[in-house]
């Protein structure tokens, strides 16, 4: 019961989890805000780039399609009816995750936090909020069918844990400047 919830929650969120990590690897180049400031601080900062956002989104969509391709064997192996992604849902999860993270950077800059500063709570869930909101808008039926209350609860418990583990790992590997 708990196992199938966690499996469903994880499967459904992979296209939202991976984009931010892909952006860390792909980042660089022109910042989205073009260096502009607003009220004495950068609008978003150098940590939000066009390339990171585009590559992150693309990786998330491709991954969703790859998961669809192995849905049957994976569902059979786990004994769980794993969700398949519609193309709009796949795009919304990936792009929504990137936008949630970008929105958090906007708030960080407004609250005097420099690039890379931690924003506990927000850092761990910004991309979940973005992903689910965008999915709800572009494919309401799929989102409500997939993210039932128990699945949503599993996502909210599991995500901060996974976020901390991946970021500490990426920091330890020298891929990221801060362990959050
Ligand atoms: N990145 C990117 N584009 C994005 C998101 C991330 O290029 N839309 C890359 C940047 O190189 C960024 C790194 O991934 O520095 C780590 O992402 P994150 O921790 O979200 O950014 P920070 O540099 O910590 O900046 P901020 O304080 O604004 O979150
Ligand atoms: Mg950071
Ligand atoms: K972040």
31-54 pLDDT, tens digit each: 999 999 999 999 999 999 999 999
pLDDT at 27: 85
Secondary structure (3-state) at 42: strand
Please give the structure tokens belonging to residue 176: 């990221």
- What is the 8-class DSSP label of residue 37? E
Ligand located closest to 110 CA: 1
Whether this model's ipTM surpasses 0.90 comes out as yes
Which ligand 1 atom sits nearest the alpha carbon of residue 102?
8
CB 53 within 8 A of CB 101: no
Alpha-carbon gap, residue 69 to 178, rounded angstroms: 35
Residue 1 scores a pLDDT above 90: no
Residue 59 scores a pLDDT above 90: yes
Alpha-carbon gap, residue 3 to 43, rounded angstroms: 42
Q: Mean pLDDT across the stretch 114-142?
A: 97
Q: Mean pLDDT across the stretch 18-31?
A: 95
- Residue 134 Cα, ligand 2 centroid: separation in angstroms? 22
Using CB distances shorter than 6 Å, the residues near ligand 1 are 23-24, 27, 45, 47-49, 52-53, 98, 101-102, 105, 108, 115-117
């Amino acid at each position: 019961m708990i196992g199938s919830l966690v499996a469903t929650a994880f499967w459904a969120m992979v296209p939202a989890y991976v984009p931010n990590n892909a952006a860390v690897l792909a980042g660089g180049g022109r910042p989205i805000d073009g260096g502009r400031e607003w009220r004495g601080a950068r609008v978003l900062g150098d940590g939000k780039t066009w390339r990171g956002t585009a590559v992150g989104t693309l990786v998330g969509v491709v991954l969703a399609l790859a998961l669809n391709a192995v849905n049957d064997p994976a569902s059979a192996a786990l004994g769980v009816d794993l969700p398949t992604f519609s193309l709009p849902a796949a795009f919304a999860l990936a792009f929504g995750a990137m936008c949630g993270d970008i929105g958090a950077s906007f708030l960080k800059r407004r609250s005097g936090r420099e690039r890379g500063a931690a924003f506990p709570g927000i850092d761990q869930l910004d991309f979940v909020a973005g992903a689910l909101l965008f999915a709800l808008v572009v494919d309401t039926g799929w989102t409500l069918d997939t993210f039932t209350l128990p699945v949503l609860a599993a996502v909210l418990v599991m995500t901060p844990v996974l976020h901390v583990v991946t970021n500490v790992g990426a920091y330890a590997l020298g891929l990221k400047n801060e362990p959050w």
